[in-house]
Homo-oligomer: A and B are copies of this chain.
Amino acid sequence: MKLKFKKNENIFKQGNIFTHIINICKGKVKICHENESGKKTILSIKKENSIIGSEFVYKSDICNYSIVAIEDCEIYLIEINSLKIILQNNNELSGFIQKLVVEKLEKITQFYINRTNKQVVGRIADVIIFLSEEIFKSQSFTLPLSRKELSEFAGCSQENIINTLSKFDKEGIIKTDGKKIEILNIDTLKRISKHG
């Protein structure tokens, strides 16, 4: 089943049952969580050819994150119950899904350690590096996120994002122009990420 979503549309809403694995064919999405007080956290950004929800092959439960399009998207839904039957006779595919879950576990663990040990400059550097290396595969890209969303991703205030980005700009580490970002000095950025 193939579906289209416009930017900012909800693809999946936190608190519902996850019945279909999602394969993103086109566009980008954010994975986000909202707590009882309404505070939002962006857990990750996913791009074309990503699979979301692999862990729900192994548990049936409500999902505690939402999936929201941050660009126009095309997605493909794979029914989990059907998938489970296929997996019984397909060790290769089975191993593939298991690896996805384990990779997700490793990434979030690293995120947790970073959030614990780094201060805000380092985390913002991380976000820029993540977008450049994992999402856009380019030193230069146009943000699909607002400043507010960046702050929900880096775990800080919107003002801190703005100040830090403009500081990086002044220091010649990046070049910003509205939503456009170009990394000028990746080495310094990585050093900040490490020591931040």
Report if A162 contacts B (CB, 8 A).
Answer: no
Interface size counted on chain A using CB atoms at 8 A: 34
Residues of B within 8 A of A104 (CB): 105
Residues of B within 8 A of A58 (CB): 95, 98-99, 101-102
Contact check, B108 vs A112: say whether CB atoms are below 8 A apart: yes
Residues of B within 8 A of A59 (CB): 99, 102-103
Q: Name which of A31-39, A139-147, A173-181 contacts chain B.
A: A31-39
Residues in A lying within 8 Å of B, measured CB to CB: 33, 35-37, 39, 41, 43, 55, 58-59, 64, 88, 91, 95, 98-99, 101-106, 108-113, 115-117, 155, 194-195
Which B-chain residue is minimally distant from A95 (CB atoms)? B58
Residues of B within 8 A of A115 (CB): 112, 115-116
Interchain Cβ contacts under 8 Å between A and B, 19 examples: A35-B117, A39-B117, A55-B102, A55-B106, A58-B95, A58-B98, A58-B99, A58-B101, A58-B102, A59-B99, A59-B102, A98-B98, A101-B105, A104-B105, A105-B105, A108-B108, A108-B109, A112-B112, A115-B116
Contact check, A101 vs B101: say whether CB atoms are below 8 A apart: yes
Residues of B within 8 A of A102 (CB): 55, 58-59, 101
> How far, in Å, is A89 (CB) from chain B's closest CB?
12
Measured in the bound complex, the distance between the Cα atoms of B102 and A55 in whole Å is 6
The DSSP consensus for interface residues of chain A is helix
> How far, in Å, is A114 (CB) from chain B's closest CB?
9
Which B-chain residue is minimally distant from A101 (CB atoms)? B101
Contact check, A109 vs B36: say whether CB atoms are below 8 A apart: no
Other A-B pairs beyond A39-B117, A59-B102, 17, CB < 8 Å: A41-B112, A41-B117, A55-B105, A55-B106, A58-B95, A58-B98, A58-B101, A59-B103, A64-B109, A98-B98, A98-B101, A104-B105, A105-B105, A105-B108, A111-B112, A112-B112, A115-B115
